[in-house]
Structure 1
Amino acid sequence: MKGKTPRRLPPKKASNSQKDPVGVYCRVRPLGAEDEECCIEVISNTTIQLHAPDGLKANRNGEFKETQYSFKKVFGIKTTQGELFEDVAKPLVEDIIHCKNGLLFTYGVTGSGKTHTMTGSPGQGGLLPRSLDMIFNSIGPYQAKRYVFKPDDKNGMEVQNQVDALLDRQKRDIIKFADMISPEEACKADGVDEDSSYSVFVSYIEIYNNYIYDLLEETPIDPIKPKPPQSKILREDQNHNMYVAGCTEVEVKSTEEAFEVFWRGQKKRRIANTQLNRESSRSHSVFIIKLAQAPLDADGDNVLQDKNQVNVSQLCLVDLAGSERTSRTRAEGSRLREAGNINQSLMTLRTCIEVLRENQMCGTNKMVPYRDSKVTHLFKNYFDGEGKVRMVVCVNPKADDYEETLLVMRFAEMTQEVEVARPVDRPICGFAAGRRQRNQERGESPTVLNQLLQSFPPLPPCEISGPNDDVTLPRLIEALEKRHKIRQMMIEEYNKTANMLKSVLQEQDSNLLSKENFIQEQRGKLGEKDKMLQNQKNEIDRLEKKSKMLEYKIDILQKTTNIYEEDKRSLQHELESREQRLQREMSEKRRMEARMQGIVTDSKLKWEKECERRVNAKQLEMQNKLWVKDEKLKQLKAIVTEGKTENRQPQRPSREKDKVPAKRSASPSPVPVRLTDIFQPVFNATGPPVRPLHRRSHSAGGERWVDHKPNTNVDLDTVLQPNLPNAIKVNAPSEKALSKCDKYVLTHQEVASDGEIQTKLIKGEVFKTRGGGQAVQFTDIETLKQENPVAASRKRRSSETGPDGEPKEGDWTDVETRCSVAVEMRAGSNLGPGYQHHGYPKRRKP
């Protein structure tokens, strides 16, 4: 009697708080040639080291240094496919048998050995054939008959009855294929549930130019107008898992059959010949292995007819296309577009990993951009905790791939820091274990006929020893009587079994007739269901077309939204840049205003000083002219006055009385002006100067000068240049320099009233003061000035002529005036050391 089947809820997503990091492994492929330069060195079973090539070091001035990267495990060039499978894929296969999902993908540069790692070669099967072989070795005795499990086109499984499965089996053709794995390398999983029935389904898709294509889809071939393959769409099932809608799922019963299906799809995959790889994958391939598992009924004979009891686990083996630089592959046209889409999808994968890592390490809640690429959108459930994630990083150690390998290493190192939630165990059913074993033992129980045959007595020895032998014949008679009785019992048992069998056969005939009637009835129902199914398929096609149209509109709206968002970001960025530029301009304007205000203030002070100087110069000039006129009047008065014109000489007024600067005489008197009164008081002048009693004669040539030239002086390209031999040159007044010298000269430059620069040499003598310091008495001023000859002649002409062009009267007509000017020229001819020139000197200013 069959027991009641307990109802089980559909499997939910893992809600376990425990997390495991993404397992990242590294495999180094051998070099193509022995003389090639190698840039990768395996340090240990978990660490590799990258060496920058010599040419790259020379070009980048040693910018690239040796770097080390750590992985969960590193496989060197001598690693076999079996060793790689034991560490990487075998735990995932054990998980899929125990109702847990898994994701394994290979990542690396073009030509790094990703396809060889995933597929392998005859005798050296890769991860994919070894995973299939382990699955079938584990569930081989417990597989359900074909078509007992059937996909429901919604990423789930249904359980068919025996009649429907029988009808589907009659439509199938047998496929055979040779094994790629030697029997010695076969492996098997432990802990397989013997009270469950299993079925394996495989599907094979490729993602090309961000479109999904089914490689196992059978399309009718039209030689006149061939149709291109139709792309598939991604959908979400009731458990929020992503799947490819309308993808072909083939049920397989052996490794050979599954691998034959794989090669049938591999022939349709897009590959091309590039500069880096003769058979370069131009798309991402995804081989999905689904394992449907359902418990047996209480008798252990058939699969439980309950869809909720079916567990579906899957293992995704992904062979990613290699990243490549178009400058190296020299791709053009469609190859260039393919490379761009490949690099874009891999960049999206990197971005998703970076955002996941940032959310986990920094506690942020940024949105992971899974939808930017079909690869990340399809496998987003695995990163959210749907199963284990493993990655095999394949690298080529040749020096030409160093920069691409460096980027791959950085991405792998970042991926190891991402943690994925650990999936929870999903139990099968609550029936008592050992149902299948008890059913097998029941079929091997001994019958009554077998017991009688085993108890059939053997015949005793029949030889008679003599005429008086009374033992042999009675013993033989007794044995024959026993055998006769057993024969009668066997005949009765045979007749009874024959009658029972005849009744059973008659009952079976009636049952067979009823079953045939039932089959006919079921076929009629099947025809009706086929019609209903056809109508539903037509409705599904209509809804799919409508869905595709809506998805197309959604894509258009999404692109439009992205364009608007990009425009918004660009305008926001431009607005911010303009605001920053405006703030910089405003601050620059304020600084310019402050600077101009300072320049205006300085110019104002400068011009005030210049105007004051010019006013003083003009007053001095007018006083000189007034004195000349007074002298002329006195001479005229002396001529007119009788008796006094012959012996009388004109007397110049004293400097103190008339406040008119005196003419320079042949022996000029020193002007008592101290340096400490004009400049900063840097000299220790505490009292009046003390003239020494004995000084060296000037004719002995022992005079030493202090040549004080400020740094602000401008070098004039004039013929006359001061020359002071053995002079101490200083930029600022120095008491130490004054203590060693007897003479002092200060070079001073200023702008004259006509705009020309004139240089003044202010000379003086150095004396000691009573307090022990140094003092300077200025005795002479010499002026050196450049003038434009045209302007100078015009000025001289204008000063010598009157308003009507005639010479001015009274300027040079008076003999005494000429003599006084000649005396002034003679007195000013002492220009100091090193001067030789011809011309009129400037008037000395006090």
Structure 2
Amino acid sequence: MRARRQRRRGIKLKHLGMIRQAKGKTTRRPPPKKPSNNQKDPVGVYCRVRPLGAEDEECCIEVISNTTIQLHAPDGLKANRNGEFKETQYSFKKVFGIKTTQRELFADVAKPLVEDLIHCKNGLLFTYGVTGSGKTYTMTGSPGQGGLLPRSLDMIFNSIGPYQAKRYVFKPDDKNGMEVQNQVDALLDRQKRDSQTSVPKTPTTRRTDPEFADMISPEEACKAGGVDEDSSYSVFVSYIEIYNNYIYDLLEETPFDPIKPKPPQSKILREDQNHNMYVAGCTEVEVKSTEEAFEVFWRGQKKRRIANTQLNRESSRSHSVFIIKLAQAPLDADGDTVLQDKSQVNVSQLCLVDLAGSERTSRTRAEGSRLREAGNINQSLMTLRTCIEVLRENQMCGTNKMVPYRDSKVTHLFKNYFDGEGKVRMVVCVNPKADDYEETLLVMRFAEMTQEVEVARPVDRPICGFAAGRRQRNQAFKDELTHRLEERGGPVDGESPTVLNQLLQSFHPLPPCEISGPNDDVTLPRLIEALEKRHKIRQMMVEEYNKTANMLKSVLQEQDSNLLSKENFIQEQRGRLGEKDKMIQNQKNEIDRLEKKSKMLEYKIDILQKTTNIYEEDKRSLQHELESREQRLQREMSEKRRMETRMQGIVTDAKLKWEKECERRVNAKQLEMQNKLWVKDEKLKQLKAIVTEGKTENRQPQRPSREKDKVAAKRSVSPSPVPTGPLVRPLHRRSHSAGGERWVDHKPTTNVDLDTVLQPNIPNAIKVNAPNEKALSKCDKYVLTHQEFASDGEIQTKLIKGEVFKTRGGGQAVQFTDIETLKQENPLAASRKRRSSETGPDGEPMERNWTDVETRCSVAVEMRAGSSLGPGYQHHGYPKRRKP
């Protein structure tokens, strides 16, 4: 009880502390509602055919047009069942042949996605195909032939380069969102980064490394149009891989332990407040140039799992996902700094996915870990196909089946894109060699099915309501100010450091100030001369400064006079805005007060609910304890009743045993005395016959024998024990001519079937579980089967019999006349009892008594007179059979 009280007290204190903390918190804004859009676009599927490895290889793919390809079956599989050639055509949004350059592919596939990214729209681009079909080359490229990924990075930085925010102005909040830091916090973070980086890398050092060679030539650089100049941008990249259906961060920095290296830790998927999936704890690196971003990509690429197989020397064993996040926030009204409002920050992302190739183990001959990797790759690709099939079925047939996104990490991560969070595009890479025909056929079918899936078109996100052109007006004001200073003869911004450097260089160094002696007349004059020169230069600098300041003041006064009228208008507008702001602030204060009150009531309700749960738990525990005690008490009472019943049975059995023993001894004594009396009578008769022999010679010889027989009959029919039960005189008995006696067989449902040999078999009986008047009115006999524990713990069955008669009130009554007992015994225990009771009461063995004919007859007569057998039994005077 004391522990429960302490627990309740701790919960109350904890919730009170939560209430106090909640008073100082601001209310969290609900997640923004996603704008609905009924317009849908199909998934853009493109096909790229790689060149053959050797000229003499058999080709199974032919490009018919810029949107159609045709598959030819190899020579071994050329005829189908009808004997026709297998030639199948497949259509795509666009087909790129073997002569297509990386630039052309990027312009048609990835460039629209990058433009959408800059305009706050998401995009997903993944490559799909058989292993060795050129997926990684299409995504990454080679030196001088950059793929989709480096070209996308280059286009992003070419477009937003002049409008990038300083480093650490935007900061990830670890919940798939971005926060805007003030200038002081951003400056502290930059200083901390500079202090941790001992030798910062420059673009020149990166370009000298052959791994970071230029992927894109300057003439191939492209730029997006329509960039919002009144916004500030920052680019964040992250790189993950999905290996054996586990997510690993390729950019995570882990300390290297040469003694006991730690394996990389897998990441989990979570859902943010906008119901978008993201990788929790994934490293997001802020990059400021294409070279820096590609350096981050290459650092993660070195950690990616690749292996050498029979089909590909550098086969990807995992799905890689390179995520580019673009954070965009508007500038303030002055156009100088980023607006400090998290709700105005727009974050868009472009996911570039390089899927691992599907492969058959019969061709790659994979074993061990390679076989397990291939199985996981094929399973994830199969889940992707299943999701596409279900989406197509739901859209075409109007069904509402659940799409199994959660069966694979790949589909679970990108389920938002298929639900309408951005454009989805797929590049199907195929190898035209004949050995890959069957796998290529499956890829073509999947691509054809994917084109039938439609994804909701992303809508434009709202931007800040400030007037456009804030950055341009600021720059124009600076240019005009510089021009006017230049016209009036003032220093130009680019020349002022030069003038200052000339003035500083004109300062002569001070001569040595050490005096050699009291008559030293050289050191002091030199020092005085140097100080006078410095004083003249200082006066010149003060005059130049005053002149420049006067010129700047005049320019500012002219500018102020021009802006005075504008400021008056702005003041009027600000006054109106102030009134509106006050009204809005009052409403916000009222809303905050009501929300705080609602929060307070919710916390109080939570505390009461917790307290109620504690009391209910205590009540349940006490109720359980009470029930357990009641059950224990009932068991003890039942055990006590069982012991009492057993003791009563033992006493009853002992009483019956001694009564039977006494009765048997009395009967035996009576028989003995009768036998002695009979012997004496016989002797007297013989003596009388001898005496009266002469007198009775003329009589018939048969007479004495008859008398003898009569006496023997009288002696044989010796008095037997009379039943001690009262004679039954029923008032009404049914006639035996009406069909014989009918019995009511009353067997309660609680009886246990003992499966004994002696089973009551009452023909033409009415079996009931409880006696009723209807059954009793049709019968004249009644028998009740009753079971109870005997003295030795065994179950014995009693048949309680009676007769049914009518009462004066018109009802039925039963008068019990006899009880028959059926009991089971252990034969081993019964044999021991017989051995102990083989001697009679007079010390003679029982076998000797049983050899006497008169003793056997007397016992038989006794059992016939004293036993009342039920119907269906046959008794021959032997002891009752008991089931062992």
TM-score bracket, shorter-length normalisation: 0.5 to 0.7
Distance 1:579 1:4 in 2: 53
CA distance in 2, matches of 1:134, 1:511: 42
TM-score using structure 1 length: 0.53
Q: Secondary structure of the residue that 1:477 maps to in structure 2?
A: helix
Aligned-pair distance for 1:170?
A: 2.1
Q: Secondary structure at the match of 2:212?
A: coil
Name structure 2 gaps, 5 residues minimum.
Answer: 1-22, 195-210, 476-486, 489-493
SS in 2 for 1:602: helix
Q: Which moved more, 1:383-392 or 1:788-797?
A: 788-797
Deviation at 1:163, TM superposition (A): 1.4
Is contact 1:691-1:768 (8 Å) kept?
no
1:728 to 1:703, Cα distance in 2 relative to 1, 3 A: same
Q: Please say which of residues 821-830 and 481-490 is displaced more in the overlay.
A: 821-830
Q: Secondary structure at the match of 2:846?
A: coil
1:442-469 alpha-carbon deviations (Å, 9 max, x no partner): 9999999999999999999999999999
Contact 2:646 2:789 in 1 (8 A): no
Q: In the TM superposition, what is the alpha-carbon distance from 1:127 to its structure 2 partner?
A: 0.1
C-alpha deviation, 1:427, in angstroms: 2.4
Residue 78 to residue 746, structure 1, CA distance change in 2 (3 Å): farther
Contact 1:326–1:339 (Cα < 8 Å) also in 2: yes
Change (3 A) 1:562 1:346: farther
Q: 1:183 Cα deviation (Å)?
A: 0.2
Aligned partners of 2:123, 2:598: CA distance in 1, in Å?
Answer: 30
Inter-CA distance 290–586: structure 2 relative to 1 (3 Å threshold): farther
Q: Please state how far the C-alpha of 1:13 moved relative to its aligned partner.
A: 2.9
Q: Is the 8 A contact 2:756 2:883 kept in 1?
A: no
Distance 1:133 1:827, change over 3 A: same
Could you list the per-position Cα deviations for residues 515-547 of structure 1 after superposition, in whole angstroms to 9, with x for gaps in the alignment?
Answer: 999999999999999999999999999999999
Indicate how the Cα distance of structure 1 residues 556 and 831 shifts in structure 2: closer, same or farther if over 3 A, else same: closer
CA distance in structure 2 between the aligned counterparts of 1:335 and 1:566, rounded to whole angstroms = 54
**Taking structure 1 as reference, are residues 356 and 633 closer, same or farther at Cα in structure 2, changes over 3 Å only?**
farther
1:162 positional shift = 1.1
Is the alpha carbon distance of 1:545 and 1:628 closer, same or farther for their aligned partners in structure 2, counting shifts above 3 Å? same
Q: 1:58 to 1:635 in 2, by over 3 A?
A: farther
For the 8 Å contact 1:614–1:753, the answer to whether it is kept is: no
State the Cα distance separating 1:472 from its structure 2 match. Answer: 52
Query: Could you say which residue in structure 1 is the equivalent of 2:599?
Result: 548
Residue matched to 1:751: 789
Q: Structure 1 CA distance, aligned partners of 2:624 and 2:74?
A: 41
Residue 158 of structure 1 is matched in structure 2 by 179
| Shift in alpha-carbon separation, 1:564–1:791, aligned structure 2, 3 A | closer
Separation (CA, whole Å) in 1 of partners of 2:588 and 2:627 = 56
8 Å Cα contact 1:26-1:74 kept in structure 2: yes
Moved more, 537-546 or 306-315: 537-546
Report how far residue 438 of structure 1 moved.
1.2
Q: Using the TM superposition, give the Cα deviation of residue 703 of structure 1 relative to its aligned residue in structure 2, in angstroms.
A: 94
| Structure 1 stretch displaced more, 440-449 or 331-340 | 440-449
Report 1:198-597 matches (<5 A): 198-440=233-475, 494-495=545-546, 497=548
Would the alpha carbon gap of residues 696 and 53 (structure 1) be closer, same or farther in structure 2, given more than 3 Å must change? farther
Q: Secondary structure at 2:626's aligned position in 1?
A: helix
- Distance in 2 (CA, whole Å) between partners of 1:331 and 1:395 is 22
Q: Aligned pair in 2 of structure 1 residues 733, 419: CA closer, same or farther (>3 Å)?
A: same
Please give the TM-score of this superposition, normalised by the length of structure 2: 0.51
Displacement of 1:428 after TM fit? 1.7
Q: Any conservation in 2 of the 1:670–1:779 contact (CA below 8 Å)?
A: no
Give the drift of 1:8.
11
SS of 1:356 mapped into structure 2? helix
CA shift, 1:489, in A, is 15
Q: Deviations over 1:313-334 (max 9, x none)?
A: 0000000000000000010111
CA contact under 8 A between 1:671 and 1:780: conserved in structure 2? no
Measured against aligned partners, the alpha-carbon deviations of 1:625-673 in whole angstroms (never above 9, x if no partner) come to 999999999999999999999999999999999999999999999999x
CA distance in 1 between counterparts of 2:58 and 2:668 reads 87
- After the TM superposition, which of the residue ranges 456-465 and 803-812 deviates more from structure 2? 803-812
C-alpha distance in structure 2 between counterparts of 1:689 and 1:41, whole Å = 117
Deviations 1:183-225 (A, max 9, x none): 0000000000000000000000000000000000000100000
Shift of 1:167: 1.6
1:778 to 816, 831, 854: 816
Deviates more, 1:474-483 or 1:250-259: 474-483
Worse overlay, 446-455 or 797-806 = 797-806
**Matched residue of 1:560: which SS?**
helix
Q: Secondary structure at the match of 1:222?
A: coil
By how many angstroms is 1:387 displaced? Answer: 0.1
- Change beyond 3 A, Cα 1:817–1:736: same
Q: Which has the higher helix share?
A: 2
* Segment drifting more, 395-404 vs 466-475: 466-475
Maintained 8 Å contact 2:653/2:791: no
Q: 1:208 to 1:840 in 2, by over 3 A?
A: closer
Look up the SS of the partner of 2:238 in the other structure: strand
Contact 2:725 2:817 in 1 (8 A): no
What is the CA-CA distance between 1:172 and the residue it aligns to?
3.0
Instruction: Flag the 1:536–1:450 CA change in 2: closer, same or farther, 3 A.
Output: same
1: distance between equivalents of 2:64 and 2:671?
Answer: 96
Unpaired segments ≥5 residues, structure 1: 673-685
1:814-842 alpha-carbon deviations (Å, 9 max, x no partner)? 99999999999999999999999999999
Whether the 8 Å contact between 2:721 and 2:866 is mirrored in structure 1 is: no
Among all aligned residue pairs of Structure 1 and Structure 2, give the percentage whose two residues are the same amino acid: 96
For the pair 1:144 / 2:165, whether they are aligned, the reply is yes
Residue 700 of structure 1 and its aligned partner are, at CA, apart by: 99
- Go from structure 1 to structure 2 and tell me whether the alpha carbon gap of 1:792 and 1:642 turns closer, same or farther (over 3 Å shift): farther
Distance 1:91 1:694, change over 3 A: same
Q: Please, which moves more after superposition, 456-465 or 278-287?
A: 456-465
Q: In structure 2, how many angstroms separate the alpha carbons of the residues matched to 1:555 and 1:349?
A: 44
Task: Using the TM superposition, name which of 77-86 and 539-548 deviates more.
Answer: 539-548
Post-superposition Cα deviations, 1:119-169, rounded to whole Å, max 9, x if no partner, equal 000000000000000000000000000010000000000011111111211
Larger mean Cα displacement after TM superposition, 580-589 or 377-386: 580-589
1:611-634: CA deviation from partner (whole Å, max 9, x where unpaired)? 999999999999999999999999
Secondary structure, aligned partner of 1:420: strand
- Does the 8 Å CA contact 1:242/1:381 hold for their aligned counterparts? yes
In 1, the alpha carbon distance for the partners of 2:836 and 2:516 equals: 190
Q: How many residues align?
A: 830
